[in-house]
Structure 1
Amino acid sequence: MRETIRVNVEGKGEFTVEKGSTLEDLSKMAFGKEYKKYLGARINNQIYHLQKSVKEGMNIRFLSIRDDDGNRIYARTISAVFIMACESLFPQCTVKIEHSIGEGIYAELEGGKSISFSEIRMIKEKMEEIIEKDIPIIREKVPAEEGIELFKKQGYEDKVRLHNTLDREEIQIYRIGDHVDGFHGYLAPSTGYVKLFDLKYYYPGAIILFPTTASVDKIPKFRERKKLAKVFKEANEWASILDLAFLGSLNEKVLNGEIGEVIRISEALHEKKIGHIADEICKDDDINIILIAGPSSSGKTTFAQRLAIHLKVNGKRPIAISVDDYFVDRDKTPLNEKGEYDFESIEAIDLERLNGDLVKLLEGEEIELPKYNFITGKSENSGVRIRVDKDHPIIVEGIHGLNPRLTEHIPEKNKFKIYISALTQLNIDAHKRISTTDTRFIRRLVRDNKFRGNDVFRTFELWQGVIEGEEKNIFPYQEEADIMFDSALVYELSVLKKHAIPLLRQVDNSSIYYSEARRLLQFLKYFIDIEEENIIPPNSILREFIGGADINVH
């Protein structure tokens, strides 16, 4: 008789299984025909792939696409299927998984090949064939030399260059039939786990659509974001100027002592873009109000101050108004679903007073600016009186800047709306993209620890609420912008790494944030440190997070 062990599955109770059973075996017992809805598992605050063997007394929570980690596994797995389909149909081309856009992931082919409308159907049919075969996905760790050789045989020069810059004894690979690939994070146990997907023609590539945490049983409708797509195109042009295709090429420049030029060109591109925005504003005499909005840790404060300098170069004398000073009194602040004050709601702002003051300023009247007392929760008089003329554009910075309600009494012709965020990042390799949300979190983690007295646990605790607020208050309005500014710097994670790693290492497996901290730690290990920070200019957006700025940003 075979030896058995007992384990507990959250929401299902206790199970007795044979010793040596995998999490996938247990999932089949617990969920029956619906087992393929579960893509990974959480045990002791750590994420595991379903090939892992179960052990006596384990408490297991299986992850579906409703969970962020389950959704990531689905996204990586359907991307792997897309790569296999394209390589089968177009063996002369390299597949590049670019970035998220809307509710999907944008991908394209390198090698001078665009995907035609008719080829979308071919790729989709090939993907369905691969999924129907339910090919096992085997995760292995192999010696680094062997892994590099396998990637060479697959024609993955980007992975070869990356791993040649890293001092690792082993490389994690995935085998899917004859196909070998590498991903950051886990995949599902087989291709049959990702049956729900769609492809959308998006010249010169395609959008891979799949269920989201909010829409688990159907494909969400794709909403095109034209302005955002142009930012991604511009980022590719900038990467070409910098001679950087993927992270391996950046690591090479760090190791070869060539990173100084990368930093100087990156910063010059930012400066050129900010100057261009100022020029566009100054071309139109009707523009009196400049609205700047973006999610957390986008570098809004530094950007606003640098824009003000460029406006002054054009003969303007900008005045900044803080939306934070227009909060309603605490007893009028709306509450969220948890009964907590919702300071990120637009209803937390005294819209009537803000609009009234802006109208008065446009009409040449003098106003006294309010000052919000965050200790008492009351609006007070500041004693500061201002009046503006046509040479005094008003800069209004805040998360609701693009929401039409914030300035509903101001004619559109008098506004210039700017959306700023860390919108793009250099991908790790052709198949491993970098989440811009991860970049912003790492920025915030470092800044909050240095300047706001928040430890790593507090930053994690606040982050989910920040994301929920952005989904509700910022992202729906980003296409309202007249222009978008990408505040990402191609080299920034190589600088932020040494600041972030000691903080993330403070999180052990007793914390609910352990799996996320571990994921970010593994991700940062791909980057070679930039040790010398004195080559980063004092007005860089990065200085807002690491310190050393020559302008007041805190």
Structure 2
Amino acid sequence: MAGIIMINSSNEVHLVSPRPTVEIHLSDGRVLSGPRGAAAGVFLASLLPSQEFSDSNPPLVGAIVNGELKELTFPIQLDACVDPVTMGDTDGMRIYRRSLTFLLDAAFEDLFKDAALTIDHSVASGGYYCQVSDHAPLTNEELARLEAHMREIVEQDITFEKREAPLGEAIEYFKAKGHQDKIRLLANRRKDYLTLYKLCDHQDYHHGYMVPSTGYLRWFGLVKTGDGFTLRFPRRHKPTTLLPMPEYPKLLATFRQYGDWLGRLDIGSVGALNDSIQAGRIREVILVSEALHEQQIANIAAQIAARRSQVRIVLIAGPSSSGKTTFSKRLSVQLLAQGFSPFPLEMDNYFLDRDKTPLNEKGEKDFESINALDRQRLSNDLGRLIQGEAVQMPKFNFKTGLREEGEIMQLMPSQIIIIEGIHGLNPALLPDVPAAKAFRIYVSALTQLNLDTHNRISTTDTRLVRRIVRDARERGYIAKETIQRWDSVRRGEKLNIFAYQENADVMFNSALVYELAALKSLAEPLLRQVPHRTPEHIEAKRLLALLEWFLPLESDLIPDNSILLEFIGGSILQQFRIWPHQIA
């Protein structure tokens, strides 16, 4: 009969008892068989070439099971597609860092029972800057004792016990411990439970997964830094090596300034931000946050004006989604108020012809390399411009990949050149321009608002959420595409920007205390569209879990010149242009 599919029974199909084993299928085609219910780590441990870990043989710390990130203790009950997660992977290093901070917190509480520890912000070479309250700054001797105690716990290889506690029970526990920031955060939690981890007598929740036991946490160090100390750990490209830690006084001062801002706003954590939204005082928080930004931009313009007789070039650099474009325009407004006439110079016009672009290690054209620019011509043109000469400017044709000749420009005495680009802080960019002629600014969203004292929010996560929202609005990219590109973007930042950030004359922190609350309702629908069983879904799920802690904030409360509107849209500065400069 038409439309009816006849199915013949077969003697080859019959009911059986469940077999006592399961198989895991690796992405490289290998298949492992083991007892049903065995932990993912038991299966994957058989793949390790040895227990002698190194940068080329990184430790196993997690697993991806059917496209979902899992702990090594996750039981495999059914046949599954499984892949290892090591400290050489982004998610693996997150698991390691998170577990290490719990170890630090537990050891600190053992030794300094009346003091409080705050995990503050990240350090580029691999580490977290930490502060101590209700106690004098730790001495070198106290730090040595703390590190020794941590290593004792590692040697004991104590299991991290995990359980789901009723939310009310968890809140009562944190009340007894005096953790007001955690109580405020949990007040708006939608789920009626909280996942707690226990190490000896210490309990806490953590925003993500952990290693099975303390024995995994071999690579760390403590070093005194300013009034606090740094918990050092490896980076994923060298997962068993602690990299040298350079001095970073300017960055540390910028973080400290932002901490002072949060103090003025009385917003010390996400829970406090949520309280301000519920209490109806978020408009005040927004206005003061924006006023602090404007105050700092005005101060930077004043510093440039104070060096009026010398400075003719302002170089602005920073990582992706830092708000450099809006910052440049707001700085230009302040420079106009100081009597300058800013002249924006586009560094892209100094690209070499495309056939001369250097290649990266993959054999692809590396447009982010400083060697992709004609630095000699850039340096010569700038030197002649600041001498008052008429200069034939280049114009890069992105369609043909060739540089053409553009307009002839000549600066007036009141004009100052503004250059925005990733290489602005690299001294190799303008080798022939006297250092005193340039004023260098580093711009980044240096988030210091954390979930609580032990669960920090990554500055990178804030920038990624910004970029996901902007890419969807301006470029039509889906979140999967933005996440897919992010690793490449980050590699370029580490190579071309972070290494030179301390060369800046001044740093501008573009983070806004309220921004993730404002981005939440825009980012969440985009993140939910990322397909399951893709690498990007793991990242999308993690970001959704982060945004879940924030109460939403309507974007119409945001002032129309805010840096945040560079990503959300609607900025009054979008069409802002400096009025015409002199053409010879």
Structure 1 residue runs of 5 or longer lacking an equivalent are none
SS in structure 2 of the partner of residue 321 of structure 1: strand
Map of 1:350 onto structure 2: 374
1:165 touches 1:252 (CA, 8 Å); kept in 2?
no
Q: Which amino acid aligns with 1:180?
A: Q
Among candidates 285, 299, 302, match of residue 326 of structure 2 = 302
CA contact 2:322–2:463 (8 Å) conserved in 1: yes
Q: Is the 8 A contact 1:7 1:55 kept in 2?
A: no
Distance 1:2 1:534, change over 3 A: closer
Q: Distance in 2 between matches of 1:304 and 1:28?
A: 52
SS in structure 1 at match of 2:457: coil
Residue deviations 1:285-315 (CA, integer Å, cap 9, x gap) = 1001110011111111101111111111111
Larger radius of gyration: 2
Question: Using the alignment, how far apart are the partners of 2:123 and 2:261 within structure 1?
Answer: 19
Q: CA deviation at 1:32?
A: 8.4
Q: Counterpart of 1:335?
A: 359
Match of 2:78 among 38, 56, 61: 56
Deviations 1:343-392 (A, max 9, x none): 1111111212211211111111112332222122122233x332113311
Q: Which residue of 2 aligns with 1:16?
A: 33
Distance 2:450 2:234 in 1: 23
Question: Match for 1:148: what amino acid?
Answer: I
2:56 paired residue number: none
Mapped partners of 1:298, 1:259: distance in 2: 23
Partner of 2:113: 91
Distance in 1, Cα, partners of 2:321 & 2:19: 55
Q: Deviations over 1:435-494 (max 9, x none)?
A: 111111111111111012222122122212111111111111111111110010111010
Alignment match, 2:419: 396
Rounded Cα–Cα distance in structure 2 between residues aligned with 1:18 and 1:265: 59
SS at match of 1:410: coil
Alignment of 1:15-164 (within 5 A): 15-31=32-48, 34=51, 37-102=59-124, 103-164=126-187
Match for residue 282 of structure 2 among 259, 270, 274: 259
The 1:203/1:406 distance shift into structure 2, 3 A limit, reads closer
Of residues 494-503 and 150-159 in structure 1, the stretch that sits farther from structure 2 once superposed is: 150-159
TM-score between both structures, scaled by the size of structure 1: 0.96
Which stretches of structure 1, 4 residues or more, deviate above 6 A after TM superposition?
A: none
User: Does the aligned pair in 1 maintain the 2:161–2:198 contact within 8 Å?
Assistant: yes
Q: Which residue of 2 aligns with 1:508?
A: 531
**CA–CA distance in 2 between the matches of 1:454 and 1:33?**
42
Contact 1:302–1:553 (Cα < 8 Å) also in 2? no
Q: Rate the CA distance shift 1:443–1:307 in 2: closer, same or farther, 3 A.
A: same
Normalised by the length of structure 2, the TM-score is 0.91
AA matched with 1:323: M
**Contact 1:328-1:349 at 8 Å conserved across structures:** yes
Structure 2 SS opposite 1:145: helix
- Contact 2:41/2:63 (CA < 8 Å) preserved in 1? no
- Residues 1:111 and 1:524: Cα distance change in structure 2 (over 3 Å): same
Question: In the aligned structure 2, how far is the partner of 1:461 from the partner of 1:29?
Answer: 30
Structure 2 regions of 5+ residues with no counterpart?
1-17, 54-58, 577-584
Q: What is the distance in 1 between the residues matched to 2:305 and 2:256? A: 26
Please tell me the residue identity of whatever aligns with 2:392: E
CA contact (8 A) 1:28 1:35 kept: no
Provide closer, same or farther for how the CA distance between residues 111 and 75 of structure 1 changes in structure 2, counting only shifts above 3 A: same
For 2:115 and 2:511, the matched residues in 1 are separated by 29
Contact kept, 8 Å, 2:259 with 2:448, in 1: the verdict is: no
- How many Å apart are 1:2 and its aligned residue? 8.6
The 1-side partners of 2:485 and 2:234 are apart by 26
Q: Which amino acid aligns with 1:24?
A: G
Matching residue's letter, 2:399: I
The verdict on how the C-alpha distance between 1:21 and 1:32 changes in structure 2, with shifts beyond 3 A counting, is farther
Q: 1:3 aligns with which of 20, 23, 29?
A: 20
SS of the aligned residue for 2:493 comes to helix
SS class of match (1:534): helix
Q: What SS class does the counterpart of residue 51 from structure 2 fall into?
A: helix
Contact 1:211–1:218 (CA under 8 A) maintained in structure 2: yes
Identity %, equivalent residues: 41
Which residue of structure 2 lines up, in the alignment, with residue 319 of structure 1? 343
Q: Out of 192, 211, 220, which is 2:215 matched to? A: 192
Q: Is the 8 A contact 2:447 2:462 kept in 1?
A: no
Q: Distance in 1 between matches of 2:167 and 2:78?
A: 33
Matches within 5 A, 1:511-530: 511-530=534-553
Distance 1:506 1:85 in 2: 41
SS in 2 for 1:496: helix
Q: Could you tell me which amino acid in structure 1 is paired with residue 227 of structure 2?
A: P
Question: Is 2:491 aligned against 1:468?
Answer: yes
Instruction: Kindly report which structure 2 residues correspond to 1:144-223, keeping only aligned pairs within 5 A, or say none.
Output: 144-223=167-246
State the number of aligned residues.
552
SS at match of 1:250: helix
User: Please, what is the CA RMSD of the aligned residues?
Assistant: 1.9
> Contact 2:120–2:448 (CA<8 Å) still a contact in 1?
no
Letter in 1 for 2:560: P
Alignment-mate amino acid for residue 556 of structure 2 = N
